[in-house]
Structure 1
Amino acid sequence: MNNVPRQFCLLLLSLTSLNASAQSAFDQQIAAHREQYKAEFLSTKSSPLQSQEAVSLLRFYPPDSMYRVTATVQLTPRMAPVDLPTSMATRTATEAPYATLSFTIDGKPCQLTVYRSLSLANNPLYRDYLFLPFTDATSGKETYGGGRYLDLRTRQIQNGKLMLDFNKAYNPYCAYKSGYACPIPPAANRLAVPIKAGELTYGGAHQD
């Protein structure tokens, strides 16, 4: 009997070590993703941030695995394409609702619609791209008021499930500079819960 408490303590230490190792690997994965994200600003001609100094002002929440969730996917093949309004009043973005994603954040049920661009669907390089625009309770406060985006792929859907990692949520270009037509998340994609993961508001001045 005297060995039971000792064995229990060893088990707890082992589980704690495994959890710490998993969190460390997750942190490294998100850090690598963000470095690649920053590099793309400097390698893209149409980017609103064209200097290392400007890119250094990007800000993010600390990585948090609570915001990496498994969503149930309900495909919506019969839904007609919609014209999403953009940050430029004279332009819209035509997107086809591809699926409804149902998941839980902090014990609260959530639902989002993921879209497929009709123009990109005709390009073999981007045929499997999916677009998820959303706002949440942090929008206009800690994060960009016009919402954030997640990029997904159709091949990520496995057995009716999809991993959503909000740590990879990013701002549209219009969060940094005017002149871009950024799709505005529809009312159905406005989450009441705070998503304290991914990109924060830009640390520099907005360029008009």
Structure 2
Amino acid sequence: MKYIIISIIVLFVSLSCAQQKEPLLGETDYQKEQNAKFKDASESPLTTKDLKSFKQLDFYKFNADYNVEAKITLQPNSEYFEMPTSTDRKPLYRVYAILSFELFGKPYELNVYQNEDLLNEKGFEDYLFLPFIDNTNGETTYGGGRYIELSVPKGNTLSIDFNKAFNPYCAYNYKYSCPVVPIENTLDLKVEAGVKMFKKK
């Protein structure tokens, strides 16, 4: 009887571990990384309630056509300005460069920004911030636009992968303070790549 009880306990523990080690969902490594981050309570932006039922983020299907090479026009004399956020916080950003690229045969431009505070933070000296608005906002993606994180390149071009476009954290939880996308960073097309709108259950 003793051995039967021990066997049942071992089986229960094994099943519990197997459930905890569910494979990460996602079509690409980036999607899997994002899903892993959102599942991790120590770094997830989700509310406690949403975290309990979270399985994976809703992404568009990966499309290599949304990975573009942009020409960089540096803006060395641009001044820092207060970027509005979803709260009273107003971090200082400047236009680091203008990015010129083509999507589906049409030319577009976006400003990419540099945050003054992050210049002095270890590991973020080369950080660039690319927020944008497109025609999917409010339909299939978050109404306030989406972000892409980039780094200062060594050359005069920079790769933009819209498949890595993500939502501001305030799309998941109102406790966060998120930069409002500048109106000049509006793309007049549907960017059907990256993460979609988060639907609370």
State the TM-score bracket (shorter-chain normalisation): 0.7 to 0.9
- Per-residue deviation, 1:82: 1.6
Query: How much is the aligned-residue C-alpha RMSD, in angstroms?
Result: 1.8
Match of 1:85 in 2: 84
Match for 1:141: what amino acid?
E
The CA deviation string for residues 37-56 of structure 1, in whole angstroms up to 9 with x for no partner, is 122234463532253632x2
Q: Identity percentage over the alignment?
A: 39
Measure, in 2, the Cα distance between the counterparts of 1:75 and 1:30.
Answer: 35
Match of 1:24 in 2: none
The answer to whether 1:118 aligns with 2:116 is yes
Q: What's the TM-score, normalizing by structure 1?
A: 0.78
The answer to whether 1:181 aligns with 2:180 is no
Measure, in 2, the Cα distance between the counterparts of 1:158 and 1:199.
Answer: 28
Match for 2:136: what amino acid?
T
Match of 2:59 in 1: 60
Match for 2:53: what amino acid?
E
SS class of match (2:34): helix
**Larger Cα Rg: Structure 1 or Structure 2?**
2
Moved beyond 6 Å, runs of 4+: none
Q: Map residues 1-208 of structure 1 onto 2, 5 A cutoff.
A: 31-43=28-40, 45=42, 47-49=44-46, 51=51, 53-54=53-54, 56-88=55-87, 90-154=88-152, 157-205=153-201
Q: What's the TM-score, normalizing by structure 2?
A: 0.80
Does the 8 Å contact 1:82/1:97 carry over to 2? no
Match for 2:133: what amino acid?
T
Which ranges in structure 2 are unaligned for 5 or more consecutive residues? Answer: 1-25
The CA deviation string for residues 101-131 of structure 1, in whole angstroms up to 9 with x for no partner, is 0001112211001111111110121111111
Does the 8 Å contact 1:30/1:168 carry over to 2? no
Does the 8 Å contact 2:35/2:56 carry over to 1? no
- Per-residue deviation, 1:153: 0.7
Does the 8 Å contact 2:131/2:185 carry over to 1? yes
Does the 8 Å contact 1:131/1:152 carry over to 2? yes
Which ranges in structure 1 are unaligned for 5 or more consecutive residues? Answer: 1-28
